[in-house]
Amino acid sequence: MNEVADLMVVLMAMTNLILLGTARLTLGVRLVGAQGALAGAYMFAANAEHPTVHVLALSALIIVAKGLVFPKVLLRTLEKAEARHEMEPYVPYSASILLGMVMLASSVWVSSRLPIAGLTIPPSAVPISIWTMFTGLFLVVARRAALTQVFGYLVLENGIYVFGAAIAGEMPFLVEMGALLDVFVAVFVMGVAVFHISREFEHMDTDRLSVLRD
């Protein structure tokens, strides 16, 4: 099943790439959802030779939560907030893609320096998960809309999750559940917050929230 796991990882990389280059929020939500589902599927595919109940349950949970529930919540928020597009990001899209390539190259370099080379299944999982983390951080930093920042956190979490799964094989159940719960709450809170921001201020750009500080 190595090939399948490999494919999942490459598809995750593709979602990163499109997330870096798109301005459409609905597409972004779907992609983040798909990436979460891919992360869950990766967990399953990487351990498919010795499937345990634990792995099965966790994969299924991740796929349902990240692939179905989160996107649903975010899409509803979007619908209510009537926002379609990210306006003028701090870093333009072509430059984001190029920077994404730089980040990819540096994550390959970083992963070649980690003392885990050759241990992971498949070898592309570690660099691409690191790249996913970078992409998440980048999205948080470089985009204005509150919702894109939520994407950033989710992508970051996906990266951490795959990184953990690639190195440890399977994570302690409790840790993973805790992390998942955190994200779950975060998504809800942010969903509600984004909605209220947009209703109160008729926009949802975080940079303009700074006028509230006084």
Partner 1 sequence: MTMYEYSCLPVVFGLTLAPFFLGIINRTKAKVAGRQGQPLLQAYFDLWKLLHKGAVYSRTTTGIFILGPVVGLAAIVAVLGLTPFAGCPPLFSFIGDLILFAGLLGVMRFATMIAALDTGSSFEGMGASREAWFSSLAEPVLWLSFAVLARLTGQFSLGAIQSEIGSALWAASAPELALTALSLFAVFLAENARIPVDDPNTHLELTMIHEVMVLDHSGPDFAFIQYAAALKHWVLASLLAGVIAPVHTGHAWIDITAALLTMAGIAVATGLVESVMARLRLTRVPQLLVGAGALGVMAFIVDIMR
Partner 2 sequence: MTLLVAALLCLIGGGILSLHPRLGARVAVPGCVIAAVLGVIPATQVLSGGGVLSLRAEWAVPGGSFYLHCDALSAFFLIPILVVSALGALYGAEYMRHSVNRAHWFFYSLLVAGMAGVVLAWNAIFFLVAWETMALASFFLVVTDDDQAPVREAGWVYLVATHFGTACLMILFALAGGGSGPLDFDPMIATGAGASTWTLGLVFLLAVVGFGTKAGIVPFHVWLPEAHPAAPSHVSAVMSGVMIKTGIYGIVRVLTSCGVPPLWWGWVLIGLGLLSGVGGVLFALAQQDLKRMLAYSSVENIGIILLGLGLGAVGWTFGEDRVCFLGFAGALFHILNHALFKSLLFLGAGAIAHATGTRNMDAFGGLFKRMRHTGGTFLAGSMAIAGLPPFNGFIGEFLLFLGGLIAVMSAQPALCGAGASVIAGLALISGLAVAGFTRAFGSAFLGEPRSECVEHAHDPGWRMLLPMWILVYFCLLIGTSVGPLAAYNSPAWSAAWPGKTPEIAFAVASCLSCVSLWAGAFVVLCLLLAGFRLLLLRGRSVRQAVTWDCGYAAPAARMQYTASSFAQPLTDMFRTVLHTKVSGGAIADVFPGLSQSSSVTADAVRAGFYQPLFSGVLRGVIAVRRLQHGNLHLYVLYIALTLLFLLFMELG
Binding footprint of partner 2 on the chain (CB under 8 A): 94-95, 105, 108, 112
Cβ distance to partner 1 smaller for residue 47 or 120: 120
Q: Max alpha carbon distance in the chain (Å)?
A: 58
Span of 40-48, 79-87, 94-102, 152-160 interacting with partner 1 by CB under 8 A: 94-102
Stretch that binds partner 1, among 48-56, 102-110, 140-148, 175-183 (CB under 8 A): 102-110
- In angstroms, the CA 161 to CA 1 distance is 19
| C-alpha to C-alpha distances, 46 to 107, 137, 195, nearest whole angstrom | 21, 26, 38
In the complex, the smallest distance separating the C-beta of residue 19 from partner 1, rounded to whole angstroms, is 11
- The pair of structure tokens assigned to 163 is 């990184």
Binding residue (CB under 8 A) for partner 1 from 123, 160, 170, 171: 123
Cα dihedral 93/99/100/102 (nearest 10): 160
Q: Which helix (H) or strand (E) holds 41?
A: helix 25-46
User: Which option in partner 1, partner 2, none does residue 123 bind, with CB closer than 5 to 8 A by kind?
Assistant: partner 1
Of 52 and 112, which has the nearer Cβ to partner 2?
112
Question: From the CB of residue 85, how many other CB atoms can be counted at a distance below 10 Å?
Answer: 11
Binding mask of the shown chain, residues 35 to 74, with x at each position contacting partner 1 by CB under 8 A: ----------------------------------------
Work out how close the CB of 78 gets to partner 1 at its nearest, in angstroms, rounded to a whole number.
22
- Say how far apart CA 121 and CA 170 lie, in whole Å: 12
* Among partner 1, partner 2, none, residue 60 binds (CB under 5-8 Å by kind): none
- Can you tell me which residue has the tokens 């926009």? 203
For 23: left if phi > 0, alpha if psi spans -120 to 50, otherwise beta; the answer is alpha
Residues 131-190 that bind partner 1 (CB under 8 A): none
Least separation in angstroms between residue 166's CB and partner 2 is: 20
Give the span between the Cα atoms of 165 and 175, in whole angstroms.
12
Task: Find out whether 29 and 72 touch, Cβ atoms under 8 Å.
Answer: no
Residue 3 engages partner 1 in binding (rule: CB under 8 A): yes
Nearer to partner 2, 48 or 108 (CB): 108
Contact footprint for partner 1 (CB under 8 A): 3, 6-7, 10, 13-14, 17-18, 21, 93-94, 97-98, 100-101, 104-105, 108, 123-124, 127
